[in-house]
């Protein structure tokens, strides 16, 4: 199974090491956000890894809504509840980190689930700089280069059919948007799920950006260069 090396599962208790989380971010999602580095001071397990675990454990439903309500670290021990239309992923103290609503037709086809995971997390991992920077430039704002604050809020997927398992994800530029209110931005990344020429579903990734400031091309170029350097260093290691 795709995600098996990237988490620990003991009697329904899920945990992550920093190395597992960092490897998933870089090897599967192509995500080089430093918050997922093993030595990060404010380390966080990728939200896309939680998404991948839920699909692998419970299957893919026609309608799925994920709300990310807490930051998971290497010290967090999560419990997987009994399957239901509404799921709350909590630790032993009852603190919630992720809630899920899923309904409609369901598939446990391993090929469909693995391809859906790979397609989505690769798209999600490329949010910065590939998708986010053009949105910021259009609104003449940017995230802080010294303390970037972009939080994963929620994600929804609607699948229209389950018989096609070769899935590709395509950004929907018309529905993708950034709404700016002062130093805060609400981001919606819309996408279509396709199999060849067939549209098989659609979805949205929602994020919140804070600490926005006026757009500076030189500062953005510096951030992009640094991000590219992280990728090169990882590839060479």
pTM for this structure? 0.92
Q: What is the pLDDT of residue 35?
A: 87
Whole-angstrom distance, CA of residue 136 vs CA of residue 165: 34
Question: How would residue 1 be classed by pLDDT, with cut points 50, 70 and 90?
Answer: low
Which domains are delineated in the chain?
A: 4-232 (3.10.129)
**pLDDT, average across residues 56-85:** 96
Provide mean pLDDT across the span 186-194.
97
> How many residues appear in the chain?
237
* Cα separation of the two ends of the chain: 25
Q: Which tens digit of pLDDT belongs to each residue from 20-34?
A: 999 999 999 988 888
Q: Give me the pLDDT at residue 229, please.
A: 83
pLDDT (tens digit per residue) in 65-77: 999 999 999 999 9
Average pLDDT over residues 122-132: 87
List C-alpha distances in Å: 34 to 23, 115, 129, 231. Answer: 12, 26, 13, 11
């Amino acid at each position: 199974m795709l995600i098996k090396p990237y988490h620990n599962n003991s009697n329904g208790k899920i945990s992550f090491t920093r190395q597992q989380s960092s490897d998933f971010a870089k090897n599967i999602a192509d995500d080089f956000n430093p918050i997922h580095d093993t030595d990060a001071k404010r380390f966080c397990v990728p939200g896309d890894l939680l998404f991948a675990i839920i699909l692998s454990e419970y299957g893919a439903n026609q309608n799925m809504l994920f709300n990310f309500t807490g930051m998971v670290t290497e010290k967090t021990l999560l419990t997987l509840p009994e399957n239901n239309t509404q799921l709350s992923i909590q630790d032993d103290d009852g603190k919630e980190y992720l809630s899920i609503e899923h309904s409609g037709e369901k598939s446990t086809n391993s090929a469909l689930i693995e391809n859906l995971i790979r397609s989505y997390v690769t798209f999600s991992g490329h949010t910065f700089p590939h998708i986010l920077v053009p949105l910021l430039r259009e609104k003449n704002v940017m995230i802080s280069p010294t303390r970037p604050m972009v939080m994963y809020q929620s994600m929804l997927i609607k699948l229209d059919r389950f018989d096609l398992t070769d899935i590709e994800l395509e950004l929907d530029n018309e529905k993708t948007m950034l709404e700016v209110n002062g130093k805060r931005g609400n981001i919606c990344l819309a996408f279509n799920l396709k199999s060849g020429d067939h549209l098989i579903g659609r979805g949205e990734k929602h994020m919140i950006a804070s600490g926005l400031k006026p757009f500076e091309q030189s500062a953005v170029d510096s951030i992009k260069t640094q991000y590219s350097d992280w990728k090169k260093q990882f590839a060479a290691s």
